[in-house]
Amino acid sequence: MCRLIGYLGNAILLDELLYKQEHSLYKQSYSSLELKSGVVCADGVGVGWYDEAGKPFIYRNTIPMWNDPNLEELSNYVQSTCTVGYARLAGIGESLDISNCQPFRSGKLLFVHNGEISNFQQTLYRPIRDSLSDSTYHLIKGMTDSEHIFALLVEMWQSSPNSTVFSALRATVQKLTELASKYDTSFSANIIVTDGQAIAAIRYAYRTQAPTLYWSCDALKEPDQIIVASERLSNQNWTAFGEQSMLYFQAQSLQPTISLLEKFA
């Protein structure tokens, strides 16, 4: 399964997050410690970030991260206070197309997902699309379950003027669980979503086990940053997400809030 990373805090170069850590996303792409399926994440790479004005940008490629000198060059130049990244391990039958690469973006939202909907094309492909408004439906450019989950999240985000990334993410997994129950399938959804000012991350599964997810907030050494990742980036100050749990934090305070989710179905 894919490897994810998310960051919110003081401005840092992308290189510090993607390459320089002891067990960085770069290293995870070819030497993962907790990959449950597959051997390497060789099917693409992506990173999203915000500039000083809060505008989101994305870089995506269909080659392995270790073969992408352009991303390494970019990472030595771009710095941001909010970043999400991703190394792809494609699901069975998924094409190596740029439209299937994450992060996905809509407005100010950036999104990465690790997990799968079982038998997606035969189970929730059509029900998810039927749940979308016309404008959200047309956001979908590829065929992955990840992008359909993102479209569903955008639908939840736009459905209420008071939506936060936390409330939209919670509503999304609730809707997914209801659909999975109705159409007799299972799914796992480790998700990081941000609007540049806050990050919500979740480790969640229905009728299966979710992939690993961790977060780090070192109040003494690095009090001005929080990182979420599929695998620990070092051997210190990392906390594992519990099953069915969410983490939410905002740029203003960087105070993490952990929520355990009830069973939705």
What are the domain boundaries of the chain?
3-260
Q: Is the pLDDT of residue 219 over 60?
A: no
Let me know if 217 is a catalytic residue: no
What's residue 1's pLDDT? 73
For position 221, what pLDDT does the model report?
65
The predicted model gives 211-225 an average pLDDT of 82
Q: What is the pLDDT of residue 262?
A: 77
Q: Across the strands, what pairs with 239?
A: 215
Q: Residues 155-164: what's their mean pLDDT?
A: 92
Q: What is the arithmetic mean of pLDDT over 180-207?
A: 97
Between 3.30.70.20, 2.40.30.10, 3.40.30.10, 3.60.20.10, what CATH number should domain 3-260 receive? 3.60.20.10
**How many whole angstroms separate alpha carbon 156 and alpha carbon 165?**
10
Question: Which residues, including other chains, have CB under 8 Å from residue 77's CB and lie 6 or more apart?
Answer: 13
pLDDT band at 261 (very low <50, low <70, confident <90, very high): confident
More confident residue, 145 or 264: 145
pTM of the model: 0.96
Q: What is the pLDDT of residue 207?
A: 94
- Spatial neighbors of 61 by CB under 8 A, at least 6 apart, are 44, 45, 46, 68, 70, 71, 98, 101
Q: What is the pLDDT of residue 96?
A: 83
Give the residue, 222 or 139, on which the prediction is more confident. Answer: 139
What's the pLDDT score for residue 47? 98
End-to-end CA distance of the chain: 25
Residue ranges of E strands in 221-262: 225-229, 239-240, 245-250, 257-260
Q: Which of 34 and 236 is assigned the larger pLDDT?
A: 34
Other CB atoms within a 10 A radius of the CB of residue 34 amount to 14
pLDDT value at 165 more than 90: yes
| pLDDT tens figures, 35-93 | 877 789 999 999 999 999 999 999 999 999 999 999 999 999 999 999 999 999 987 76
Confidence (pLDDT) at 265: 59
Average pLDDT taken over every residue of the chain = 93
What band does 9 get if pLDDT is binned at 50, 70 and 90?
very high
